[in-house]
Chain A
Amino acid sequence: MAVSKPMEGGTEDLPTLPNLETRSSASPEPKPNGREQTTLGLPPDVLLDIHRRMLLLRRMEERIGQLYAMGEIGGFCHLYIGQEAVAVGMERATRPDDPVITAYRCHAHMVVRGAAPEQVIGELLGKAQGVSQGKGGSMHMFDPARNFYGGHGIVGAQVPLGTGIAFALKYRKTDRVCVTYFGDGAISQGQVAEAFNMAALWNLPIVYVVENNQYGMGTAVDRASAISELHRRGESFGIPGREVDGMDPVAVEQAGQVALEHARSGQGPMLLEMKTYRYRGHSMSDPALYRSREEVQRVREERDPISRVADLLVQSGVVNAEGLKVVDREIRAQVMEAVTAAQAMPEADPTGLLSDIYADGS
C-alpha cells in the first residue's frame, strides 16, 4: 500500500462546471411540455427528483426543530436547513455502494442514503425503533447496510475514519469510493491534515467534501482559517481541490461526478469545498448573534437551493405554482406521517442500557 504516485496539484486542470445561476439565466423561454429538457440540460423528472429530495430534508428538519422546541427532543440537535443541495447533489453523484461518513449534522445524510425518516425521528425521540435504539441520538446515526457510517460527534475525527474506509476499499481491490464530509470548522483539526497526508501518500479512493457553511459554530471562516479558500487546504499534500456553489444541487452533482471519477479511476483523493449556508444556529441552543438577520435573509432570498430549483421548474414550464404547492403538501404529509409513526414507537427498552457494548451482547 505504501506506493506513492505523483499527484496533480491545484485546481486549474479540471473543467469549469456550469451552475444553476449561469445556465438558468441563459434560458428565458418557458417550455410548456414537461418532457422536454430544461435549460439545464437535465430532464424535467431529474429536476423534480432533486426538488422533492431537498424539500423532504427541509420539511423534516423544520419539523424536528419544532419537536425540539416542544421538548420532545433533547440534547444537541444540529439542523441541516439551507445545506440541502450538498447532500442531495452528492448523493445523486454517488453510487449506492460508495460508503459515506459525516459528522454530527447527519439527519439529512441518513435520509438521502435511504433511511426512513421515521427511524431518524424515532432516534431523536429516544425510541426503541430509532436507528440506534435510542443510544445515539441526533449525532450518532449509522446505516451500514446502506453504506452510511455515521454520525460522529468529535469535530474532524470522522476524516481519518473515512480515510480508513477508503484504505479498506483499496485493500479489497474494489472500485468503490468513500465520500467523507466535514465542516469548515473541522478543517483546522490536526487529524484532518494527518488523514489528507495518508490519503495522498497511499493514493486512496476518497472524496473529501467540506461543507463550508461559513461559520464553525460562531466563528466565521476568515477568523479561523489562515486562508479562506478551504479547497486549497489539500494543496500541500498534492490533493486537487475545487470550489463549488453548494447552494446549487446541479453544480454539486457535477462536481461530485468529476471528483468521484477522479478517485474511482485510481488518481487518489480530491477535495470539494461546497460554499453553502445554514439558516439556523449551529445547534438548537445557538441564537446566531454572530451574524445579522439581513445576511441570513439575503442568502434565503438569493441563493436558497430549493427556491432556485423551484423557480427553474416554473420558468421552464415543468410545473406551475399550484403544482409546487401540491408537492409541498405531499411532503409535509409524508413528514407528519413519519413523526406520527415515530411518536407511536415504544420508548427505548431499559434492557438496552447494558447491551451492545461488546459483540456478545454485553
Chain B
Amino acid sequence: MREISVREAIRDAMAEEMRRDESVFLMGEEVAEYEGAYKVSQGLLKEFGPERVVDTPITEAGFAGVGVGAAMMGLRPIVEFMTWNFAMQAVDQIVNSAAKTRYMSGGLLGLPIVFRGPNGVASQVAAQHSQDYGAWYAHVPGLKVVAPFDAADAKGLLTAAIRDPDPVVFLEHELLYGESGQVPDGEHVAELGRARIVRPGRDVTLVGWSRGVSLALDAAAELAEQGIDAEVIDLRSLRPLDRATLLGSVQRTHRIVSVEEGWPSCGVGAEIMATIVAAAFDALDAPPQRVSGADVPMPYAAHLEALALPLSETVVRVAREVCYTDV
C-alpha cells in the first residue's frame, strides 16, 4: 500500500492501462500539453506522446462523438470533460450514440468508452459550473455510472471502467482530487456495480457517493459521540445500483438517510427511497429521508452557497430525526 491523492490515483489508472493496452488513449481539452485543467493527466503526454494523449479544441459534442466513433472501431477512448457541466453539450452523443448503439444494433456493435471528469459542487463558481449530474446519467440504460470517493476506488474503479466493454460515465469530484488515501501496490481493479460498507453500524444507514460519503462519515463521527451508531455506505456505482447492499443494511438498521449534492427532485436519493419503500417497507422503523442540495441553481455568494449545499450538520440532524432522538 502507498498513500497517494485521488488525482494521482486517476492518473495512475490511466497510465497503467495505456501501458497494458495500446488501444487505450486519452482525449479532451487541455489534457496533453497543459496536463489537465485540474492536473489529472500529469506526465501522460511525455510518456505516451501526442497520438495517445490528444488535446482537442473546445468542442464537447464533437470530440465526444469522435470518441464514440473510435470506440466503434474497437479503440478504448478515455474522453475527459474539463467538468461535467460542459458535457451538457455532448449529452446527445453520450445518451443517443454511446448508450443506445449496442441495443439498437441487436448486440452487433458495443462501445468500450469512458467519459470522465469532475462532477458535483465546486467552490463559488455559481450555477453553470457547480452541479451534480449523477441522477441524469443514472437514468439511462446502456450506461454504467461510477462515482468514486477515495483514492483506492478512484484507481480500482477507473481501471475497471477502462477495461469494461460498455460505456462508463465516471464522475470525479474537484473537491476530492487533493484527498489522499492508501492504494494497493501494483494492479488494482475494483468491481463495478458494488456498494461498500465504509463504516458498519447498528442504528441508522447513511448512504452517499463521491463527496457525499465524506459528509456521511463526518456525520457518523458526530452521531457516535451522541450515542448513535451509524452505518455508512459508499454507493460507488449509481448504475447499476447495488440494491442488495442497501436492503441488507436497512434490514439491520431499520432506518436510512441518503446524502447527495444534486437536486432532490427525481434524484438518486429518490430512487434509493423508492427501492427501500417498495422492497423493505416492513423493515423500516421510520420514514426514509433524503439530504440533498437545495432545489435552486447554485448561487455565487459564499453565505448563499453554504445554504444550498448539503452539510454534515444537516445529515446529523436528519439522522437524529429518523432515530426519534429529538422527539
A136 within 8 A of B: yes
CB under 8 Å from chain B, chain A span 114-156: 130-136, 140, 142-144, 149-154
Contact mask for chain B residues 102-116; partner A; CB cutoff 8 A; 1 contact, 0 none: 111111111000000
Interface centre among A153, A172, A194, A357 (most CB of B within 10 A): A194
A48 within 8 A of B: no
Is the pair A168, B103 in contact by a Cβ cutoff of 8 Å? no
**Distance between A105 CB and nearest chain B CB, rounded to angstroms:** 16
Q: Which of A2, A136, A144, A194 contacts B59 (CB 8 A)?
A: A194
With A2-B50, A2-B55, A190-B61 known as contacts, the answer to whether A164 contacts B66 (CB < 8 A) is yes
B75 within 8 A of A: yes
Interface centre among B25, B93, B103 (most CB of A within 10 A): B103
Q: Which of B50, B55, B63, B109 contacts A144 (CB 8 A)?
A: B109
Is the pair B166, A160 in contact by a Cβ cutoff of 8 Å? no
With A154-B92, A359-B166 known as contacts, the answer to whether A133 contacts B75 (CB < 8 A) is no
A283 within 8 A of B: no
The segment from A77-85, A195-203, A297-305, A323-331 that touches chain B is A195-203
Closest A residue to B33 by beta carbon equals A2
A163 within 8 A of B: yes
A185 within 8 A of B: no
| Chain A residues with CB under 8 A of B97 | 152, 154, 157, 161
- Cα A144 to Cα B32 in complex, Å, equals 32
B56 within 8 A of A: yes
Is the pair B109, A131 in contact by a Cβ cutoff of 8 Å? no
| Chain A residues with CB under 8 A of B141 | 357
Q: Which of B105, B142, B144, B164 contacts A150 (CB 8 A)?
A: B105
B185 within 8 A of A: no
Is the pair B62, A191 in contact by a Cβ cutoff of 8 Å? yes
A246 within 8 A of B: no
| Chain B residues with CB under 8 A of A167 | 66, 69-70
Is the pair B65, A157 in contact by a Cβ cutoff of 8 Å? yes
Is the pair A164, B109 in contact by a Cβ cutoff of 8 Å? no
- Cα A171 to Cα B141 in complex, Å, equals 30
| Chain B residues with CB under 8 A of A157 | 65, 92-93, 96-97
B54 within 8 A of A: yes
Q: Which of B55, B62, B67, B73 contacts A195 (CB 8 A)?
A: B62
Closest B residue to A139 by beta carbon equals B104
Is the pair A161, B59 in contact by a Cβ cutoff of 8 Å? no
Is the pair B65, A191 in contact by a Cβ cutoff of 8 Å? yes
A234 within 8 A of B: no
A228 within 8 A of B: no
Contact mask for chain A residues 73-100; partner B; CB cutoff 8 A; 1 contact, 0 none: 0000000000000000000000000010
- Cα A198 to Cα B79 in complex, Å, equals 15
Is the pair B72, A198 in contact by a Cβ cutoff of 8 Å? no
CB under 8 Å from chain B, chain A span 54-70: none
Is the pair A132, B106 in contact by a Cβ cutoff of 8 Å? yes
| Chain A residues with CB under 8 A of B63 | 160, 194, 198
B186 within 8 A of A: no
Q: Which of B96, B110, B142 contacts A153 (CB 8 A)?
A: B96
| Tally of chain A residues near chain B (CB < 8 A) | 49
Q: Which of A1, A131, A143, A154 contacts B54 (CB 8 A)?
A: A1
Q: Which of B54, B64, B106 contacts A2 (CB 8 A)?
A: B54
- Cα A99 to Cα B69 in complex, Å, equals 11
- Cα A169 to Cα B55 in complex, Å, equals 18
With A165-B70, A357-B141, A359-B110 known as contacts, the answer to whether A171 contacts B103 (CB < 8 A) is no
Closest A residue to B110 by beta carbon equals A359
Is the pair A356, B25 in contact by a Cβ cutoff of 8 Å? no
Is the pair A163, B65 in contact by a Cβ cutoff of 8 Å? yes
Is the pair B65, A161 in contact by a Cβ cutoff of 8 Å? yes
- Cα A153 to Cα B61 in complex, Å, equals 16
| Chain A residues with CB under 8 A of B71 | 164
Is the pair B69, A160 in contact by a Cβ cutoff of 8 Å? yes
| Chain B residues with CB under 8 A of A357 | 102-103, 141-142
B227 within 8 A of A: no
A162 within 8 A of B: yes
B181 within 8 A of A: no
Closest A residue to B113 by beta carbon equals A164
Q: Which of A133, A134, A161, A356 contacts B72 (CB 8 A)?
A: A161
Q: Which of B51, B75, B104 contacts A140 (CB 8 A)?
A: B104
- Cα A163 to Cα B59 in complex, Å, equals 13
**Distance between A341 CB and nearest chain B CB, rounded to angstroms:** 18
- Cα A352 to Cα B102 in complex, Å, equals 12
With A154-B92, A356-B103 known as contacts, the answer to whether A198 contacts B73 (CB < 8 A) is no
| Chain B residues with CB under 8 A of A191 | 61-62, 65, 92-93
| Chain A residues with CB under 8 A of B77 | 164
A-B contact pairs, 17 of them (CB 8 A): A1-B50, A130-B106, A131-B106, A132-B104, A133-B107, A134-B106, A136-B105, A150-B101, A160-B68, A161-B66, A164-B65, A164-B67, A167-B70, A191-B93, A197-B59, A198-B57, A359-B110
Which residues on B are within 8 Å of A, measured CB to CB?
A: 25, 32, 50-51, 54-57, 59, 61-75, 77, 92-93, 96-97, 101-110, 141-142, 144, 164-166
Q: Which A-B residue pairs are the 3 nearest by beta carbons?
A: A164-B69, A160-B65, A194-B62
